Amino acid sequence: MKRYFFKPGTKINLADWDPNETAEFDGGKNASKNALEKLNQELEPLQELLYAEHKHKVLVILQGMDTSGKDGVIRHVFEGVNPQGVRVASFKVPTPIELAHDYLWRVHQQTPGNGEMVIFNRSHYEDVLVVRVHELVPKSVWQKRYRQINEFERILADEGTLILKFYLHIDLDEQKRRLQARLDDSQKQWKFSVGDLKERQFWPQYTRAYEEALTRTNTSWAPWVIVPANRKWYRNLVIGTILVKALQSLKMKLPAFDGDPKEITIE
């Protein structure tokens, strides 16, 4: 899966990244179900180990255009994980209290503690995406944020947080298909928002904003993964595989028992 990472400093042009790619899995969609189930089964004990060891913190950041599949990743990749060990934080339009603070204030409140895995469904990256596209703050303000975000994430990493950032890469046609699918299915219509159509008109601006964010905030301590996400099954496999490997690389261990269990009598 190394192909979906890139070196810090690399200038990203999303046109060079194929959202339809499925190069790392031969089996196709049907075979992917078993592969994903296997990943779910690997993830569960790793998460329990994370919780038991109470040493590392894990932060998974999901970003992508509307309909790119952030909710779907949470549902499918984290299915079967103990809800006690995973928390999802969704960052929507900021409240007045949140707006009265710096943009990282609400984010910091949601970062994981020891033994915890937190998934950000959107994140502080919106402060260099939607905020930039709609000019909610002047350029002089959002321009500083790439550096600030890198510094903020470095603090989290220094203090024991494994950070993985996934950009779910779909194209304009795929978004159209997904929006149309929501309209056509009475069970999915509630997910359709006219606001999504409005945002869709800003696709080129969002693409440029994402390219700059990916280029400037891809660090050794908080790397980005550009996930080909036109095929949902492939997107899930890529994220599940990278997550399992990253957790394995922590070489976690159960805490040693303090004393000799045989000497303890339960009355």
The yes or no reply on residue 74 touching a second copy (CB under 8 A) is: yes
SS3 of residue 5 by DSSP? coil
- Look at the chain and count its residues: 267
The yes or no reply on residue 122 touching a second copy (CB under 8 A) is: no
Residue number with CB closer to a second copy (21 or 48): 48
Angle, helix 28-53 to helix 232-248, in steps of 10 degrees: 30
Residue number with CB closer to a second copy (186 or 220): 186
User: Considering only residues 11, 75, 108, 144, which one is a binding residue for a second copy as defined by CB under 8 A?
Assistant: 75
> For the chain, what is the total number of helices (H) and then of strands (E)?
11, 5
End-to-end CA distance of the chain: 53
The yes or no reply on residue 257 touching a second copy (CB under 8 A) is: yes
Which of the ranges 106-114, 128-136, 242-250, 253-261 carries the binding residues for a second copy, by CB under 8 A? 253-261
Question: Strand order in 57-64's β-sheet?
Answer: 86-90, 117-121, 57-64, 161-169, 224-228
* Nearest distance, CB of residue 75 and a second copy, angstroms: 5
Residue number with CB closer to a second copy (121 or 143): 121
Residue number with CB closer to a second copy (6 or 233): 233
- Ordered alpha helix ranges (H), the chain: 28-53, 70-77, 96-99, 105-108, 130-133, 139-142, 145-158, 172-184, 194-200, 203-216, 232-248
Task: Please report where in the chains the tokens 């809800």 appear, as a residue.
Answer: 83
The yes or no reply on residue 93 touching a second copy (CB under 8 A) is: no
* Nearest distance, CB of residue 59 and a second copy, angstroms: 15
* Nearest distance, CB of residue 8 and a second copy, angstroms: 31
User: Considering only residues 190, 195, 198, 249, which one is a binding residue for a second copy as defined by CB under 8 A?
Assistant: 190
The yes or no reply on residue 95 touching a second copy (CB under 8 A) is: no
**199-224: string of b/e by CB count within 10 Å (b at 16+)?**
bbeeeeebbebbebbbbbbbbeebbb
Whether residue 188 contacts residue 181, with contact meaning beta carbons closer than 8 Å, is answered with yes
In sequence order, what are the residues at sequence separation of 6 or more whose Cβ sits closer than 8 angstroms to the Cβ of residue 149? 104, 124, 125, 128, 217
User: Considering only residues 9, 96, 195, 255, which one is a binding residue for a second copy as defined by CB under 8 A?
Assistant: 255
Site for a second copy in 148-177 (CB under 8 A): 176
The yes or no reply on residue 100 touching a second copy (CB under 8 A) is: no
The yes or no reply on residue 192 touching a second copy (CB under 8 A) is: yes
Q: Which residues bind a second copy (CB under 8 A)?
A: 52, 71, 74-75, 78-84, 86-88, 90, 119, 121, 176, 179-180, 183-184, 186-187, 189-192, 194, 197, 200-201, 254-255, 257, 261, 264, 266-267
